[in-house]
Structure 1
Amino acid sequence: MYVSVATEPGGSAPNEDWVAGTPTLAVVLDGLSTAGLDTGCRHGVPWYVAQLGGHLVAALAESDRTLTDGLANALDRVAQLHPECDLKNPGTPSATVAILRERPGYFDHLVLADSPVVLESQSGVTVLTDLRVDEVCQDLRAETERFRTGTPEHRESVARLVSAQREIRNTEDGYWVAASGPEAALHALTGTAVAGDVLSAAVMSDGVSRLVTEYGMATWQAVLEQLREAGPASLIRRVREVEATDPHGQRWPRYKAGDDAAVAFCQRVQG
Protein backbone atom coordinates (compact mmCIF):
# COMPACT_ATOMS: atom_id res chain seq x y z
CA MET A 1 0.00 0.00 0.00
CA TYR A 2 1.02 3.64 -0.40
CA VAL A 3 1.35 5.45 2.93
CA SER A 4 1.75 9.21 3.33
CA VAL A 5 2.20 10.78 6.76
CA ALA A 6 2.25 14.12 8.56
CA THR A 7 2.49 15.28 12.14
CA GLU A 8 2.60 18.68 13.83
CA PRO A 9 2.71 19.92 17.43
CA GLY A 10 -0.32 21.75 18.72
CA GLY A 11 1.70 24.64 20.14
CA SER A 12 5.19 25.57 21.27
CA ALA A 13 5.78 22.42 23.36
CA PRO A 14 7.50 19.38 21.80
CA ASN A 15 5.29 17.13 19.70
CA GLU A 16 4.02 14.14 21.71
CA ASP A 17 2.42 12.44 18.68
CA TRP A 18 4.37 9.99 16.53
CA VAL A 19 3.60 8.52 13.11
CA ALA A 20 5.31 6.09 10.75
CA GLY A 21 4.49 4.30 7.53
CA THR A 22 5.99 1.42 5.56
CA PRO A 23 4.65 -0.39 2.48
CA THR A 24 2.66 -2.68 4.79
CA LEU A 25 2.22 -0.74 8.02
CA ALA A 26 0.86 2.53 9.43
CA VAL A 27 1.30 3.45 13.11
CA VAL A 28 0.12 6.48 15.07
CA LEU A 29 0.90 7.08 18.75
CA ASP A 30 -0.57 9.93 20.78
CA GLY A 31 1.37 10.64 23.96
CA LEU A 32 -0.85 11.39 26.94
CA SER A 33 -0.65 14.75 28.65
CA THR A 34 1.16 14.88 31.99
CA ALA A 35 -0.45 18.25 32.93
CA GLY A 36 2.82 19.16 34.67
CA LEU A 37 2.44 16.30 37.18
CA ASP A 38 5.26 13.97 38.25
CA THR A 39 5.78 10.96 35.98
CA GLY A 40 8.58 9.13 37.76
CA CYS A 41 10.47 9.12 34.45
CA ARG A 42 13.35 11.41 33.52
CA HIS A 43 12.86 10.93 29.78
CA GLY A 44 9.46 12.41 29.02
CA VAL A 45 6.61 11.63 26.64
CA PRO A 46 8.31 12.53 23.30
CA TRP A 47 11.14 10.10 24.12
CA TYR A 48 8.63 7.43 25.10
CA VAL A 49 6.55 7.60 21.92
CA ALA A 50 9.67 7.64 19.73
CA GLN A 51 11.03 4.55 21.45
CA LEU A 52 7.70 2.73 21.42
CA GLY A 53 7.06 3.59 17.81
CA GLY A 54 10.46 2.40 16.64
CA HIS A 55 10.24 -0.88 18.54
CA LEU A 56 6.68 -1.42 17.34
CA VAL A 57 7.63 -1.04 13.68
CA ALA A 58 10.55 -3.42 14.22
CA ALA A 59 8.39 -5.99 16.01
CA LEU A 60 5.73 -5.96 13.30
CA ALA A 61 8.30 -6.42 10.54
CA GLU A 62 7.78 -10.10 11.35
CA SER A 63 4.72 -10.69 9.19
CA ASP A 64 3.50 -13.73 11.13
CA ARG A 65 3.37 -11.84 14.45
CA THR A 66 -0.05 -10.61 15.55
CA LEU A 67 -0.54 -6.91 16.22
CA THR A 68 -1.28 -7.69 19.87
CA ASP A 69 1.93 -9.65 20.27
CA GLY A 70 3.92 -6.98 18.45
CA LEU A 71 2.61 -4.27 20.77
CA ALA A 72 3.30 -6.38 23.85
CA ASN A 73 6.85 -7.03 22.65
CA ALA A 74 7.47 -3.33 21.98
CA LEU A 75 6.10 -2.31 25.39
CA ASP A 76 8.36 -4.81 27.11
CA ARG A 77 11.43 -3.65 25.20
CA VAL A 78 10.81 0.01 25.97
CA ALA A 79 10.37 -0.76 29.66
CA GLN A 80 13.78 -2.43 29.62
CA LEU A 81 15.35 0.79 28.27
CA HIS A 82 14.76 2.77 31.46
CA PRO A 83 14.65 0.48 34.51
CA GLU A 84 16.07 3.30 36.63
CA CYS A 85 12.78 5.19 36.26
CA ASP A 86 9.75 4.56 38.47
CA LEU A 87 7.67 2.59 35.98
CA LYS A 88 5.01 1.92 38.63
CA ASN A 89 4.24 5.61 38.91
CA PRO A 90 0.63 6.00 37.70
CA GLY A 91 1.76 8.92 35.56
CA THR A 92 4.54 7.02 33.77
CA PRO A 93 4.73 8.14 30.12
CA SER A 94 1.97 6.54 28.07
CA ALA A 95 0.24 6.76 24.71
CA THR A 96 -2.72 5.73 22.64
CA VAL A 97 -1.99 3.32 19.79
CA ALA A 98 -3.54 2.93 16.33
CA ILE A 99 -2.16 0.43 13.80
CA LEU A 100 -3.13 -0.71 10.32
CA ARG A 101 -1.18 -3.54 8.67
CA GLU A 102 -1.59 -5.08 5.24
CA ARG A 103 -0.91 -8.75 4.70
CA PRO A 104 -1.84 -10.94 1.72
CA GLY A 105 -5.58 -10.62 1.28
CA TYR A 106 -6.31 -8.71 4.49
CA PHE A 107 -5.91 -5.53 6.52
CA ASP A 108 -5.47 -5.96 10.28
CA HIS A 109 -6.12 -3.15 12.74
CA LEU A 110 -5.44 -2.48 16.41
CA VAL A 111 -6.65 0.45 18.49
CA LEU A 112 -5.86 1.16 22.12
CA ALA A 113 -7.69 4.27 23.38
CA ASP A 114 -9.10 7.03 21.22
CA SER A 115 -6.83 7.28 18.18
CA PRO A 116 -9.01 5.86 15.37
CA VAL A 117 -8.47 3.82 12.24
CA VAL A 118 -10.92 4.83 9.50
CA LEU A 119 -11.60 2.37 6.66
CA GLU A 120 -13.22 3.37 3.38
CA SER A 121 -14.99 0.71 1.34
CA GLN A 122 -17.49 0.66 -1.52
CA SER A 123 -20.28 0.47 1.06
CA GLY A 124 -19.11 3.46 3.12
CA VAL A 125 -16.85 4.40 6.01
CA THR A 126 -16.11 2.36 9.15
CA VAL A 127 -14.53 4.04 12.18
CA LEU A 128 -12.58 1.76 14.50
CA THR A 129 -11.81 3.30 17.87
CA ASP A 130 -11.71 2.65 21.63
CA LEU A 131 -13.67 5.20 23.65
CA ARG A 132 -13.45 3.61 27.11
CA VAL A 133 -11.64 6.72 28.35
CA ASP A 134 -14.82 8.74 27.74
CA GLU A 135 -16.69 6.60 30.27
CA VAL A 136 -14.56 7.65 33.26
CA CYS A 137 -14.22 10.88 35.28
CA GLN A 138 -17.14 12.47 33.48
CA ASP A 139 -17.80 14.97 36.28
CA LEU A 140 -14.23 16.28 36.16
CA ARG A 141 -14.37 16.41 32.37
CA ALA A 142 -17.53 18.53 32.56
CA GLU A 143 -15.84 20.84 35.08
CA THR A 144 -12.89 21.36 32.75
CA GLU A 145 -15.20 22.26 29.88
CA ARG A 146 -16.68 25.15 31.85
CA PHE A 147 -13.46 27.18 31.73
CA ARG A 148 -11.86 29.12 28.90
CA THR A 149 -8.87 27.28 27.46
CA GLY A 150 -5.55 28.58 28.79
CA THR A 151 -6.88 30.26 31.93
CA PRO A 152 -5.43 29.34 35.36
CA GLU A 153 -8.79 27.79 36.29
CA HIS A 154 -8.71 25.66 33.16
CA ARG A 155 -5.12 24.48 33.79
CA GLU A 156 -5.96 23.56 37.39
CA SER A 157 -9.05 21.69 36.27
CA VAL A 158 -7.12 19.75 33.62
CA ALA A 159 -4.54 18.78 36.25
CA ARG A 160 -7.31 17.45 38.52
CA LEU A 161 -8.79 15.46 35.64
CA VAL A 162 -5.45 13.98 34.58
CA SER A 163 -4.63 13.10 38.19
CA ALA A 164 -7.93 11.23 38.56
CA GLN A 165 -7.52 9.46 35.23
CA ARG A 166 -4.07 8.25 36.23
CA GLU A 167 -5.47 6.38 39.22
CA ILE A 168 -7.67 4.19 37.02
CA ARG A 169 -5.47 4.05 33.93
CA ASN A 170 -4.64 0.46 32.98
CA THR A 171 -7.03 -1.03 35.53
CA GLU A 172 -10.14 -3.16 35.04
CA ASP A 173 -12.28 -0.30 36.38
CA GLY A 174 -10.78 2.27 34.04
CA TYR A 175 -9.31 2.32 30.55
CA TRP A 176 -6.18 1.04 28.84
CA VAL A 177 -3.26 2.74 27.13
CA ALA A 178 0.30 1.79 26.22
CA ALA A 179 2.50 2.48 29.24
CA SER A 180 5.18 0.54 31.10
CA GLY A 181 4.13 -3.09 30.71
CA PRO A 182 2.92 -5.51 28.03
CA GLU A 183 -0.43 -6.33 29.68
CA ALA A 184 -2.17 -3.35 28.08
CA ALA A 185 -1.73 -4.95 24.65
CA LEU A 186 -4.17 -7.68 25.66
CA HIS A 187 -6.86 -5.04 26.13
CA ALA A 188 -6.49 -3.46 22.69
CA LEU A 189 -9.36 -3.80 20.23
CA THR A 190 -8.39 -5.70 17.08
CA GLY A 191 -9.97 -6.85 13.85
CA THR A 192 -9.47 -7.77 10.22
CA ALA A 193 -10.97 -6.59 6.92
CA VAL A 194 -10.77 -8.29 3.53
CA ALA A 195 -8.28 -6.31 1.45
CA GLY A 196 -10.50 -6.31 -1.60
CA ASP A 197 -13.17 -4.41 0.34
CA VAL A 198 -10.86 -1.57 1.39
CA LEU A 199 -10.38 1.43 -0.91
CA SER A 200 -8.33 3.57 1.48
CA ALA A 201 -7.72 4.07 5.19
CA ALA A 202 -6.61 6.76 7.61
CA VAL A 203 -4.86 6.23 10.92
CA MET A 204 -4.84 9.32 13.14
CA SER A 205 -4.55 10.83 16.59
CA ASP A 206 -7.53 12.55 18.17
CA GLY A 207 -5.84 15.86 17.40
CA VAL A 208 -7.00 15.19 13.82
CA SER A 209 -10.16 13.13 14.32
CA ARG A 210 -11.74 15.92 16.40
CA LEU A 211 -12.40 17.80 13.17
CA VAL A 212 -15.26 15.29 12.76
CA THR A 213 -15.96 13.96 16.24
CA GLU A 214 -15.80 17.14 18.35
CA TYR A 215 -15.89 20.09 15.99
CA GLY A 216 -18.38 18.62 13.53
CA MET A 217 -16.74 20.60 10.74
CA ALA A 218 -16.29 17.68 8.33
CA THR A 219 -17.63 14.22 7.60
CA TRP A 220 -15.42 11.16 7.51
CA GLN A 221 -15.95 10.92 3.77
CA ALA A 222 -14.83 14.53 3.36
CA VAL A 223 -11.72 13.83 5.45
CA LEU A 224 -10.79 10.88 3.25
CA GLU A 225 -11.39 12.91 0.11
CA GLN A 226 -9.14 15.71 1.37
CA LEU A 227 -6.43 13.20 2.24
CA ARG A 228 -6.66 11.70 -1.23
CA GLU A 229 -6.65 15.04 -3.04
CA ALA A 230 -4.25 17.14 -0.92
CA GLY A 231 -2.48 14.85 1.55
CA PRO A 232 -2.13 14.57 5.34
CA ALA A 233 -0.48 17.95 5.93
CA SER A 234 -3.45 19.71 4.35
CA LEU A 235 -5.84 17.96 6.73
CA ILE A 236 -3.85 19.12 9.75
CA ARG A 237 -3.88 22.67 8.35
CA ARG A 238 -7.66 22.42 8.11
CA VAL A 239 -7.86 21.43 11.79
CA ARG A 240 -5.71 24.44 12.73
CA GLU A 241 -7.88 26.79 10.67
CA VAL A 242 -10.96 25.61 12.52
CA GLU A 243 -9.28 25.89 15.93
CA ALA A 244 -8.13 29.42 15.16
CA THR A 245 -11.77 30.51 15.03
CA ASP A 246 -12.23 29.41 18.67
CA PRO A 247 -8.89 30.08 20.44
CA HIS A 248 -10.37 30.02 23.97
CA GLY A 249 -12.37 26.82 23.62
CA GLN A 250 -15.76 28.46 24.07
CA ARG A 251 -17.46 26.84 21.08
CA TRP A 252 -15.54 23.58 21.39
CA PRO A 253 -14.30 23.05 24.97
CA ARG A 254 -10.97 21.24 24.98
CA TYR A 255 -7.79 20.67 26.99
CA LYS A 256 -5.58 22.76 24.70
CA ALA A 257 -6.17 25.46 22.13
CA GLY A 258 -4.47 23.12 19.64
CA ASP A 259 -3.57 19.48 20.22
CA ASP A 260 -0.67 17.62 18.65
CA ALA A 261 -1.83 16.01 15.40
CA ALA A 262 -0.66 13.00 13.41
CA VAL A 263 -2.16 11.14 10.46
CA ALA A 264 -1.18 8.37 8.06
CA PHE A 265 -3.18 7.95 4.85
CA CYS A 266 -3.11 4.51 3.24
CA GLN A 267 -4.11 3.61 -0.32
CA ARG A 268 -4.12 0.17 -1.84
CA VAL A 269 -1.65 -0.56 -4.61
CA GLN A 270 -3.64 -1.73 -7.63
CA GLY A 271 -2.06 -4.47 -9.61
Structure 2
Amino acid sequence: MHITYETAAAPGRPHNEDYVIGGPTWIAIFDGATAPTGVDSGCKHDVPWLVSHLAGNLGRGLAAEPAVPLPDILAGAISATMAAHADTCDLGNPDSPSSTVAILRQRDGVVDYLVLCDSPIVLQRADGALALVDDDRTDHLPGGRPYSLELVRASRNRPGGFWVASTVPEAAYEALTGSVGLDTVSGALLATDGVTRLVEWYGHSWEQIVDTAATAGPTELIAQVRQAEQEQGTPAFAKRHDDATAVWLSW
Protein backbone atom coordinates (compact mmCIF):
# COMPACT_ATOMS: atom_id res chain seq x y z
CA MET A 1 0.00 0.00 0.00
CA HIS A 2 1.38 3.40 -1.03
CA ILE A 3 -0.13 6.43 0.72
CA THR A 4 0.26 10.13 -0.05
CA TYR A 5 -1.68 12.95 1.60
CA GLU A 6 -1.95 16.68 2.07
CA THR A 7 -3.81 18.54 4.80
CA ALA A 8 -3.99 22.33 5.06
CA ALA A 9 -5.74 24.86 7.25
CA ALA A 10 -8.07 27.31 5.57
CA PRO A 11 -6.21 30.47 4.52
CA GLY A 12 -6.18 32.98 7.35
CA ARG A 13 -6.98 30.43 10.05
CA PRO A 14 -4.32 29.59 12.66
CA HIS A 15 -5.39 25.98 13.29
CA ASN A 16 -6.27 23.05 11.09
CA GLU A 17 -9.33 21.20 12.41
CA ASP A 18 -8.77 18.32 9.96
CA TYR A 19 -6.48 15.45 10.95
CA VAL A 20 -4.77 12.48 9.27
CA ILE A 21 -3.33 9.39 10.92
CA GLY A 22 -2.00 6.26 9.21
CA GLY A 23 -0.07 3.03 9.53
CA PRO A 24 1.41 0.48 7.12
CA THR A 25 -2.00 -0.98 6.24
CA TRP A 26 -4.52 1.71 7.18
CA ILE A 27 -5.32 5.41 7.00
CA ALA A 28 -7.97 7.60 8.64
CA ILE A 29 -9.03 11.22 8.21
CA PHE A 30 -11.09 13.50 10.45
CA ASP A 31 -12.85 16.81 9.90
CA GLY A 32 -13.67 18.59 13.13
CA ALA A 33 -16.82 20.71 13.17
CA THR A 34 -16.15 24.39 13.79
CA ALA A 35 -18.38 25.66 16.59
CA PRO A 36 -20.68 28.56 15.66
CA THR A 37 -19.59 31.90 17.06
CA GLY A 38 -20.83 32.49 20.58
CA VAL A 39 -21.98 28.91 21.18
CA ASP A 40 -20.96 27.31 24.49
CA SER A 41 -19.92 23.75 23.69
CA GLY A 42 -19.66 22.77 27.33
CA CYS A 43 -16.08 21.71 26.61
CA LYS A 44 -12.90 23.43 27.76
CA HIS A 45 -11.03 21.99 24.76
CA ASP A 46 -10.96 23.17 21.18
CA VAL A 47 -11.76 21.14 18.08
CA PRO A 48 -8.09 20.31 17.31
CA TRP A 49 -7.88 18.72 20.75
CA LEU A 50 -10.87 16.52 19.96
CA VAL A 51 -9.67 15.36 16.55
CA SER A 52 -6.12 14.67 17.74
CA HIS A 53 -7.32 12.62 20.70
CA LEU A 54 -9.90 10.79 18.62
CA ALA A 55 -7.22 10.04 16.01
CA GLY A 56 -4.75 8.81 18.61
CA ASN A 57 -7.28 6.50 20.20
CA LEU A 58 -8.41 5.19 16.82
CA GLY A 59 -4.82 4.63 15.72
CA ARG A 60 -4.07 2.58 18.80
CA GLY A 61 -7.08 0.39 18.10
CA LEU A 62 -6.24 -0.11 14.44
CA ALA A 63 -2.63 -0.96 15.24
CA ALA A 64 -3.38 -3.32 18.11
CA GLU A 65 -6.49 -5.03 16.75
CA PRO A 66 -6.09 -5.39 12.97
CA ALA A 67 -8.98 -7.83 12.56
CA VAL A 68 -11.59 -6.17 14.80
CA PRO A 69 -14.52 -4.62 12.87
CA LEU A 70 -13.99 -0.92 12.17
CA PRO A 71 -17.19 0.22 13.95
CA ASP A 72 -16.02 -1.50 17.14
CA ILE A 73 -12.65 0.23 16.95
CA LEU A 74 -14.24 3.61 16.29
CA ALA A 75 -16.74 3.18 19.13
CA GLY A 76 -13.84 2.39 21.45
CA ALA A 77 -11.97 5.47 20.25
CA ILE A 78 -14.99 7.69 20.92
CA SER A 79 -15.39 6.18 24.39
CA ALA A 80 -11.70 6.66 25.21
CA THR A 81 -11.82 10.27 24.03
CA MET A 82 -14.90 10.92 26.16
CA ALA A 83 -13.12 9.45 29.18
CA ALA A 84 -10.20 11.84 28.63
CA HIS A 85 -12.36 14.88 29.37
CA ALA A 86 -15.44 13.60 31.18
CA ASP A 87 -14.17 15.09 34.46
CA THR A 88 -13.65 18.57 33.03
CA CYS A 89 -16.36 19.01 30.39
CA ASP A 90 -20.13 18.67 29.96
CA LEU A 91 -20.42 15.74 27.58
CA GLY A 92 -24.19 16.05 27.63
CA ASN A 93 -24.06 19.44 25.92
CA PRO A 94 -25.71 19.16 22.47
CA ASP A 95 -22.99 21.42 21.01
CA SER A 96 -20.08 19.29 22.24
CA PRO A 97 -17.21 19.20 19.69
CA SER A 98 -17.57 16.61 16.93
CA SER A 99 -15.79 15.21 13.89
CA THR A 100 -16.35 13.21 10.74
CA VAL A 101 -14.34 10.00 10.28
CA ALA A 102 -13.24 8.04 7.21
CA ILE A 103 -11.12 4.89 7.54
CA LEU A 104 -9.59 2.52 5.00
CA ARG A 105 -7.82 -0.68 6.11
CA GLN A 106 -6.14 -3.54 4.27
CA ARG A 107 -6.15 -6.98 5.86
CA ASP A 108 -5.83 -10.57 4.60
CA GLY A 109 -6.64 -9.80 0.97
CA VAL A 110 -9.55 -7.51 1.89
CA VAL A 111 -10.02 -3.74 2.01
CA ASP A 112 -12.38 -2.50 4.75
CA TYR A 113 -13.88 0.99 4.75
CA LEU A 114 -15.91 3.16 7.11
CA VAL A 115 -17.40 6.60 6.48
CA LEU A 116 -19.13 8.58 9.23
CA CYS A 117 -20.59 11.91 8.13
CA ASP A 118 -19.40 13.93 5.14
CA SER A 119 -15.81 12.82 4.47
CA PRO A 120 -16.27 10.37 1.58
CA ILE A 121 -14.14 7.56 0.20
CA VAL A 122 -13.90 6.86 -3.53
CA LEU A 123 -12.71 3.36 -4.44
CA GLN A 124 -11.08 2.95 -7.84
CA ARG A 125 -11.76 -0.55 -9.07
CA ALA A 126 -9.22 -2.56 -11.02
CA ASP A 127 -11.17 -1.89 -14.25
CA GLY A 128 -11.04 1.87 -13.63
CA ALA A 129 -14.66 2.27 -12.50
CA LEU A 130 -15.31 4.28 -9.33
CA ALA A 131 -17.42 3.40 -6.29
CA LEU A 132 -18.40 6.34 -4.08
CA VAL A 133 -18.99 5.81 -0.36
CA ASP A 134 -20.65 9.06 0.73
CA ASP A 135 -22.55 9.56 3.99
CA ASP A 136 -24.62 12.52 2.81
CA ARG A 137 -27.23 12.60 5.56
CA THR A 138 -26.21 16.16 6.46
CA ASP A 139 -27.44 17.19 3.00
CA HIS A 140 -30.96 15.96 3.63
CA LEU A 141 -32.07 17.69 6.82
CA PRO A 142 -35.46 19.40 6.48
CA GLY A 143 -35.83 22.96 5.29
CA GLY A 144 -32.69 23.30 3.23
CA ARG A 145 -29.53 25.21 3.99
CA PRO A 146 -28.56 27.21 5.91
CA TYR A 147 -29.59 24.94 8.77
CA SER A 148 -30.50 26.51 12.07
CA LEU A 149 -28.49 25.68 15.17
CA GLU A 150 -31.65 24.26 16.73
CA LEU A 151 -32.18 21.89 13.81
CA VAL A 152 -28.60 20.64 13.93
CA ARG A 153 -28.86 20.08 17.68
CA ALA A 154 -32.09 18.12 17.25
CA SER A 155 -30.71 16.03 14.37
CA ARG A 156 -27.18 15.22 15.54
CA ASN A 157 -26.71 11.58 16.50
CA ARG A 158 -30.43 10.91 16.24
CA PRO A 159 -32.37 8.47 14.03
CA GLY A 160 -33.58 10.30 10.97
CA GLY A 161 -30.85 12.94 11.36
CA PHE A 162 -27.13 12.46 10.97
CA TRP A 163 -24.34 10.75 12.90
CA VAL A 164 -20.92 12.05 13.84
CA ALA A 165 -18.08 11.21 16.23
CA SER A 166 -18.64 13.20 19.42
CA THR A 167 -20.12 11.92 22.69
CA VAL A 168 -22.20 8.96 21.47
CA PRO A 169 -20.07 5.85 20.86
CA GLU A 170 -23.07 4.15 19.25
CA ALA A 171 -22.72 6.57 16.33
CA ALA A 172 -19.91 4.34 15.05
CA TYR A 173 -22.47 1.67 14.21
CA GLU A 174 -24.42 4.11 12.04
CA ALA A 175 -21.45 4.65 9.71
CA LEU A 176 -21.39 3.38 6.14
CA THR A 177 -19.16 0.30 6.12
CA GLY A 178 -18.14 -2.51 3.85
CA SER A 179 -15.33 -4.62 2.45
CA VAL A 180 -14.03 -5.38 -1.05
CA GLY A 181 -11.44 -7.82 -2.31
CA LEU A 182 -7.96 -6.34 -2.52
CA ASP A 183 -7.61 -7.75 -6.03
CA THR A 184 -10.66 -5.73 -7.16
CA VAL A 185 -9.29 -2.25 -6.33
CA SER A 186 -6.30 -0.29 -7.58
CA GLY A 187 -6.62 2.93 -5.60
CA ALA A 188 -8.72 5.01 -3.22
CA LEU A 189 -9.32 8.66 -2.42
CA LEU A 190 -10.32 9.92 1.03
CA ALA A 191 -11.28 13.59 1.34
CA THR A 192 -12.85 16.08 3.71
CA ASP A 193 -15.53 18.46 2.46
CA GLY A 194 -12.92 21.18 2.05
CA VAL A 195 -11.83 19.17 -1.01
CA THR A 196 -15.11 17.65 -2.17
CA ARG A 197 -16.46 21.15 -2.83
CA LEU A 198 -14.62 20.73 -6.13
CA VAL A 199 -17.40 18.30 -7.07
CA GLU A 200 -20.26 19.83 -5.11
CA TRP A 201 -19.78 23.46 -6.18
CA TYR A 202 -17.14 23.83 -8.86
CA GLY A 203 -18.15 21.42 -11.60
CA HIS A 204 -15.48 18.76 -11.25
CA SER A 205 -16.41 15.10 -11.59
CA TRP A 206 -15.28 12.36 -9.24
CA GLU A 207 -13.35 10.92 -12.17
CA GLN A 208 -11.46 14.19 -12.54
CA ILE A 209 -10.45 14.52 -8.92
CA VAL A 210 -9.45 10.87 -8.64
CA ASP A 211 -7.32 11.26 -11.76
CA THR A 212 -5.72 14.40 -10.31
CA ALA A 213 -4.97 12.63 -7.03
CA ALA A 214 -3.47 9.66 -8.83
CA THR A 215 -1.33 11.63 -11.28
CA ALA A 216 -0.51 14.96 -9.61
CA GLY A 217 -1.16 14.10 -5.97
CA PRO A 218 -3.32 15.48 -3.16
CA THR A 219 -1.38 18.76 -3.04
CA GLU A 220 -2.68 19.64 -6.50
CA LEU A 221 -6.26 18.94 -5.44
CA ILE A 222 -5.99 21.46 -2.62
CA ALA A 223 -4.37 23.98 -4.95
CA GLN A 224 -7.34 23.62 -7.30
CA VAL A 225 -9.75 24.16 -4.41
CA ARG A 226 -8.03 27.37 -3.36
CA GLN A 227 -8.02 28.66 -6.93
CA ALA A 228 -11.73 27.91 -7.35
CA GLU A 229 -12.58 29.57 -4.04
CA GLN A 230 -10.77 32.73 -5.11
CA GLU A 231 -12.17 32.85 -8.63
CA GLN A 232 -15.73 31.59 -8.12
CA GLY A 233 -16.54 32.24 -4.46
CA THR A 234 -18.75 29.98 -2.36
CA PRO A 235 -22.48 29.62 -1.64
CA ALA A 236 -23.92 32.16 0.78
CA PHE A 237 -24.35 29.55 3.54
CA ALA A 238 -20.73 28.35 3.38
CA LYS A 239 -17.37 29.48 4.65
CA ARG A 240 -15.22 31.15 1.99
CA HIS A 241 -12.40 28.74 2.80
CA ASP A 242 -12.32 25.50 4.75
CA ASP A 243 -9.62 23.20 6.04
CA ALA A 244 -8.86 20.69 3.31
CA THR A 245 -7.48 17.14 3.40
CA ALA A 246 -6.98 14.59 0.64
CA VAL A 247 -5.42 11.14 0.77
CA TRP A 248 -4.53 8.93 -2.21
CA LEU A 249 -3.79 5.24 -1.78
CA SER A 250 -2.61 2.89 -4.48
CA TRP A 251 -1.79 -0.79 -4.61
Report the TM-score, using the length of structure 2 for normalisation.
Answer: 0.93
The answer as to whether partners of 1:113 and 1:132 remain within 8 angstroms in 2 is yes
**Larger CA deviation: 99-108 vs 6-15:** 6-15
**Partners of 1:106 and 1:193 within 8 A in 2:** yes
In the alignment, the residues of structure 2 paired with residue 131 and residue 171 of structure 1 have an alpha-carbon distance, to the nearest angstrom, of 15
Cα gap change, 1:256 to 1:133, in 2 (>3 Å): same
Q: What aligned pairs does 1:191-230 form with structure 2 within 5 A after superposition?
A: 191-216=178-203, 218-230=204-216
| Whole-angstrom distance in 1 between the partners of 2:152 and 2:129 | 35
Return the offset for 1:254: 4.3
Question: Structure 1 unaligned runs (5+)?
Answer: 145-159
Aligned partner of 1:8: which letter?
A: A
Say which SS state the counterpart of residue 232 (structure 2) adopts.
coil
For residues 50 and 255 of structure 1, the distance between their equivalents in structure 2, rounded to whole angstroms, comes to 25
Whether the 8 Å CA contact 1:9–1:259 is kept in 2: the answer is yes
Separation in 2, partners of 1:263, 1:124: 20
Relative contact order, higher structure (CA 8 A, sep 6+): 1
Q: Deviations over 1:21-53 (max 9, x none)?
A: 222111111111211211000101111001101
CA deviations over 1:94-131 (Å, ceiling 9, x no partner): 01111111112111000111110000111511110111
Report deviation, 1:134. 1.3
1:20 is matched with 21
Q: Which amino acid aligns with 2:215?
A: E
Any idea what the Cα deviations from partners look like across 1:179-198, whole Å, max 9, x if unmatched? 01311111111001111110
Structure 1 vs Structure 2: percent identity of aligned residues?
Answer: 39
Q: Which residue of 2 aligns with 1:109?
A: 113
Question: Structure 1 residue runs of 4+, over 6 Å off?
Answer: none
Distance (Å, rounded) in 2 between the aligned partners of 1:194 and 1:215 = 33
Q: Which runs of 5+ in 2 are unaligned?
A: none
Amino acid at match of 1:88: G
Counterpart for residue 234 of structure 1: 220
Which residue does the alignment assign to 2:89? 85
| Alpha-carbon offset, residue 253 of structure 1 | 4.0
Amino acid in structure 1 at the alignment position of 2:48? P
Partner in structure 1 of residue 67 of structure 2:
64
Provide the secondary structure at the position in 2 that maps to 1:138.
Answer: coil
Shift of residue 214 of structure 1?
2.6
SS of match in other structure, 1:99: strand
Paired with 2:100 and 2:6, the residues of 1 have a C-alpha distance of 17
Deviations 1:59-97, CA, capped at 9 Å, x for gaps: 111111110011001000000000120001001000111
How many positions carry a matched residue from both structures?
Answer: 246
Q: CA 1:40–1:213 in structure 2 vs 1: closer, same or farther (change >3 Å)?
A: same
1:128 equivalenced with 2:129 (yes/no): no
The CA RMSD over aligned residues, in Å, is 1.4
